[in-house]
Amino acid sequence: MHHTNDDTEMATIRRSGSGWQVLIRRKNYVGPRSRTFLSRDLAQSWADAVEERTKKVFRDVPITLGEAINDYINGPLLLHRSAENEKYPLRVTAESWLGDIPLSDLQIKHFAVWRDERLLKVKPNTVMRELRILRVLIDWARDERGAEIKDNPARHLRVRGTGDARAPFFTDQDEKRLLYELSQMSNKNHLRLTKLALATGFRRSELLSLTWRNIDLKKKLLYIYRKNCAATDNYSAPRLIPLPNKAKKILEELSERHGKIIDLTKGAARHGFDKARKRAGLETLRFHDLRHIAISRMWSSGMNALEISACSGHRDIKMLMRYSHYQLSF
């Protein structure tokens, strides 16, 4: 069988049986990798069309939010099952005044005005869904396309009347950046404190008061006296807690097992966390948000209310149920 090759910028056209086959070579191309045509002219036309569309998707870094939206629609969104549902609100945003704002200039105030305008037209839950799509889009533009965005302003916006009113939006990438900045500190207690907060959902005051006498690694148990926590009533009865596996692993890595688990003062702990979150570009993140995040993850993992309340210390199940529908990532 005779084969002839003709290379375009991203495709190869070759003889295949009685027809002509186009092979797409670009690694990041989204779509069919090959197609066979009866004539070479048809094969070339399809290859040219694919190349033109791909150039639009993979051109230089998008400047405005509207450009990023168009790139996203013609790129990764094609693989989403809910692409059609997401495409419409994205196009509406791209064609609005918000779409003309340069990505590097985007601030939370822009999204606040956009939110208020949308609330005049659609329900709060619809605005929340659209906001989550924009959050993912902006993260993609920054992380995958190299857009100059220090912090995702859409992540910190809240929509009243939805379950997102108190839930911090905290992605895996946010966590990695935060933990990296903490790991760069000479005092490793700062990193340990945050890791344990995410693993347990404990308050900072509870973690700072923990000693090795509170912990039984073999039985995977620990107990906390409520009097040690300024945020709760002055009860002396201890809270017996199953030790989460992630927390157990963190503690097992420690060679010294006497005295306090976290050897930091309250002021030092606050200063260290504030320094790390700012360097990680998480300006609005509070340490107490880690408790919300941990509890929300417990719900997502399938733990029930009684199991979670044993860790969180919530005596009012209704208060705990606020976290049951939180979305921490998209």
Tens digit of each residue's pLDDT (9 = 90 or more) over 50-98: 776 666 555 556 778 998 999 888 888 887 777 787 888 899 999 988 9
Residue 231 has pLDDT above 50, yes or no: no
Q: How many CB atoms lie within 10 A of CB 245?
A: 10
How much is the average pLDDT of 3-17? 62
Q: Is residue 329 part of a domain?
A: no
Which pTM does this prediction carry?
A: 0.47
If asked whether residues 150 and 178 sit together in one domain, one would say: no
Q: Domain boundary at 18, 35, 57, which?
A: 57
If asked whether residues 184 and 311 sit together in one domain, one would say: yes
Q: Are strands 215-216 and 34-37 parallel, antiparallel or unpaired?
A: unpaired
> Which of 122, 288, 326 lies closest to 205 in space, CA to CA?
288
Predicted confidence at residue 150, as pLDDT, reads 79
Q: Domain boundary at 36, 57, 78, which?
A: 57
Q: How confident is the model at residue 193 (pLDDT cuts 50, 70, 90)?
A: very high
If asked whether residues 195 and 95 sit together in one domain, one would say: no
Total number of domains constituting the chain: 3
Predicted confidence at residue 163, as pLDDT, reads 52
Side-chain half-sphere exposure of 198, counting CA atoms within 13 A? 19
Cβ–Cβ under 8 Å, residues 61 and 54: no
If asked whether residues 124 and 19 sit together in one domain, one would say: no
Alpha helices, DSSP H, located in the chain: 40-57, 65-73, 83-94, 108-119, 124-143, 172-183, 189-200, 204-209, 245-252, 266-279, 287-300, 305-312, 317-320
Predicted confidence at residue 178, as pLDDT, reads 93
> Which of 305, 292, 299, 290 lies closest to 325 in space, CA to CA?
299
Predicted confidence at residue 166, as pLDDT, reads 46
Q: Domain boundary at 125, 156, 187, which?
A: 156
Which residue range forms the structural domain that includes residue 285? 172-323
Q: Of 36-50, 188-202, 296-310, which has the strongest mean pLDDT? A: 188-202
Where residue 306 sits, what CATH number does that domain have? 1.10.443.10
Q: How confident is the model at residue 239 (pLDDT cuts 50, 70, 90)?
A: low
% of residues, the chain, pLDDT over 90:
15
If asked whether residues 132 and 275 sit together in one domain, one would say: no
If asked whether residues 144 and 287 sit together in one domain, one would say: no
Q: Is residue 330 part of a domain?
A: no
